């Protein structure tokens, strides 16, 4: 694994890579509040056969935040992302994305379809905001508060809380979780600021993926979680709509939460290999 920075005027973009040049590229985009190390377990299992490239999205990890909320809107976001991919000298690639990253991935596919060999969505891109039962204002307020008030006296407290949130733990996940925290004002805080999370939530409400489903390539695989059970009916319904309108494939991964790739990285790796080997190279 290697980590480095791209420069964009006075801003920086952090990149994490696994594997060697010359291998098929899998470009990875994480979910809201995460970083490029979100894919660490998957990448370590795939790096012999693929070159995996992940970035910290704007406002996440060590990548500079956008100066305005409008830049997080989908059309602007995918143009920015395409410029980053140009800087990385990537021609064609598979898109692997999680949560909010999958929303961005679908808008990217609509605009730059010729660059994408195929798309694998990890429990993202199908949860339409208009059916979620929460207003934009309510959701923005929740995330701004959640990110800004996630503060601990030390790393021990931070890790203790994080371990409670996941179904399993490993040395690699510990590295990924360490990437989520930052020391600021003698406290350990979440790396992302609430205002940037708020901008992203507003953009997701403004640009609904369901509105572009029928203009997308059908070469899409969605891996869908099942937990918690209280949202299973809604997940099932929105995933069925996604499948009908995109023509893509939906696979249900039992006993997994929204952090599906952390709950069961092996099944995600197997699905990626199968997807890439069955006529998608």
* pLDDT, tens digit only, all 281 positions of the chain: 999 999 988 899 999 999 999 999 999 999 999 999 999 999 999 999 999 999 999 999 999 999 999 999 999 999 999 999 999 999 999 999 999 999 999 999 999 999 999 999 999 999 988 887 789 999 999 999 999 999 999 999 999 999 999 999 999 999 999 999 999 999 999 999 999 999 999 999 999 999 999 999 899 999 999 999 999 999 999 999 999 999 999 999 999 999 999 999 999 999 999 999 985 44
Residue from 138, 129, 100 nearest 238 by CA: 129
**Which pTM does this prediction carry?**
0.97
Query: Taking phi first (over 0 means left), then psi (-120 to 50 degrees means alpha), and beta for anything else, what does residue 211 get?
Result: alpha
2-277: in CATH 2.70.70.10? no
Spatial neighbors of 110 by CB under 8 A, at least 6 apart, are 212, 215, 216
Separation between Cα atoms, residue 76 and residue 104, nearest integer Å: 10
What does the pLDDT read at residue 130? Answer: 84
């Amino acid at each position: 694994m290697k980590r480095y920075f791209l420069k964009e005027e006075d801003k920086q973009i952090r990149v994490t890579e696994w594997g060697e040049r010359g291998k098929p590229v899998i470009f990875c985009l994480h979910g809201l509040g995460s970083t490029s190390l979100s894919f660490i377990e998957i990448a370590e299992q795939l790096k012999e056969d693929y070159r995996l490239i992940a970035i910290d999205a704007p406002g996440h990890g060590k990548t500079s935040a956008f100066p305005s909320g409008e830049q997080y809107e989908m059309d602007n976001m995918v143009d920015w992302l395409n410029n980053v991919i140009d800087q990385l000298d990537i021609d064609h690639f598979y898109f692997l994305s999680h949560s909010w990253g999958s929303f961005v991935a679908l808008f990217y596919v609509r605009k730059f379809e010729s660059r994408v060999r195929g798309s694998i969505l990890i429990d993202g891109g199908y949860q339409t905001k208009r059916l979620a039962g929460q207003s934009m204002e309510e959701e923005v307020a929740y995330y701004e508060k959640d990110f800004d008030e996630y503060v601990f006296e030390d790393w021990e407290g931070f890790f203790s809380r994080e371990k409670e949130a996941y179904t399993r733990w490993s040395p690699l996940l510990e590295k990924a979780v360490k990437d989520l925290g930052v020391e600021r004002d003698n406290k350990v805080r979440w790396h992302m600021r609430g205002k940037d999370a708020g901008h992203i939530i507003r953009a997701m409400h403004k640009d609904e993926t369901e509105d572009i489903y029928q203009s997308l390539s059908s070469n899409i695989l969605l891996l869908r979680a099942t937990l918690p059970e209280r949202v299973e009916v809604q997940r099932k319904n929105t995933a069925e709509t996604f499948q009908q309108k995109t023509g893509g494939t939906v696979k249900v991964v039992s006993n997994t939460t929204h952090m599906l790739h952390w709950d069961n990285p092996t099944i995600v790796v197997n699905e990626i290999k199968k997807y890439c080997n069955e006529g998608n190279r």
